[in-house]
């Protein structure tokens, strides 16, 4: 059995939707089990509710020290000026004890994201996230061009060779398209299959 953690932070639900698609992809791989969890909100509840942040989400809150229990971790974060969200950064900054004992060395790490626009930092968010994974000794996996949706030209769509992405629109009204969700599913299955091979 290959254990995959899909760990995300989502302010308004876009990354949450993508995370569910990633988990769906993981579960489609033979012998793979997906756990879907999220990182804690840092914004005070009153402020978050005033900003329309989606505080009620089904996924339970993860503990930083449980990351070593999985064969692969697929991280999801919205873009903040071309970097991961502070909530995800804060969570990862608590993984020092895992780093000290090499608990994530040799495990697969992968990333997906959301941005407001096509040029809103989707690629730099993912590639800058990779730095943390490499410091942990993880094997970084993206979204290869064997997924045909990465070459989509008939419509505006997220999707990069670094990882799946969705475009939300400046007001957040755009939900993930079917092409973007398919990219998320492909990434989940791809990571699960590679993790399964490493286990064997």
pLDDT confidence of residue 73: 98
For 60-117, the pLDDT digits (tens) are: 999 999 999 999 999 999 999 999 999 999 999 999 999 999 999 999 999 999 999 9
pLDDT confidence of residue 25: 98
pLDDT confidence of residue 51: 93
Question: Regarding beta strands 2-8 and 72-80, do their DSSP bridges make them parallel or antiparallel, or are they unpaired?
Answer: parallel
Q: What is the largest CA-CA distance in the chain?
A: 49
pLDDT confidence of residue 163: 98
String of DSSP letters for the chain: -EEEEEEE--SSSHHHHHHHHHHHHHHTSTTEEEEEEEPPP-S-HHHHHHTT-----SSPBP-GGGGGGSSEEEEEEEEETTEE-HHHHHHHTT-HHHHHTTTTTT-EEEEEEEESSTTSSHHHHHHHHHHHHHHTT-EE----TTSGGGG--SS----BTTB-EEE--TTS-PPPPHHHHHHHHHHHHHHHHHHHHHH-
CB 96, CB 179: distance < 8 Å:
no
Q: What CATH number does the domain containing 55 carry?
A: 3.40.50.360
What's the total number of domains in the chain?
Answer: 1
pLDDT confidence of residue 52: 92
pLDDT confidence of residue 178: 97
pTM of the model: 0.97
89 burial type by CB count under 10 A (0-12 exposed, 13-18 middle, 19+ buried): middle
Q: Which domain holds residue 120?
A: 2-199
* Sites in the chain below the pLDDT cut of 50: none
Interatomic CA distance for residues 25 and 23, integer angstroms: 5
Of 36, 48, 119, 120, nearest to 78 by C-alpha is 120
Torsion of CA 9, 13, 14, 17, to 10 degrees: 90
pLDDT confidence of residue 190: 98
Interatomic CA distance for residues 169 and 174, integer angstroms: 6
CB 168, CB 14: distance < 8 Å:
yes
Q: Which residues contact 23 (CB under 8 A, 6 or more apart)?
A: 6, 34, 36, 188
pLDDT confidence of residue 94: 98
């Amino acid at each position: 059995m290959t254990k995959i953690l899909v760990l995300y932070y989502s302010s308004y639900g876009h990354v949450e939707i993508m995370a569910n698609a990633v988990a769906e992809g993981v579960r489609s791989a033979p012998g793979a089990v997906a756990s879907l969890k999220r990182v804690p909100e840092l914004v005070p509840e009153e402020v978050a509710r005033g900003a329309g942040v989606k505080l009620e989400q089904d996924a339970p809150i993860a503990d930083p020290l449980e990351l070593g229990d999985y064969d692969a971790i697929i991280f999801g974060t919205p873009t903040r000026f071309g970097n991961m969200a502070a909530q995800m950064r804060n969570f990862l900054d608590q993984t020092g004890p895992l780093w000290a004992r090499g608990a994530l060395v040799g495990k697969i790490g992968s990333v997906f994201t959301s941005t407001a626009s096509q040029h809103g930092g989707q690629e730099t968010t993912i590639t800058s996230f990779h730095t943390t994974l490499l410091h942990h000794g993880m094997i970084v996996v993206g979204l290869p061009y064997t997924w045909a949706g990465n070459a989509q030209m008939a419509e505006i769509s997220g999707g990069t060779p670094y990882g799946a992405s969705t475009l939300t629109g400046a007001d957040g009204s755009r939900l993930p398209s079917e092409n973007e969700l398919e990219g998320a599913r492909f990434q989940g299955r791809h990571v699960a299959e590679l993790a399964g091979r490493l286990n064997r």
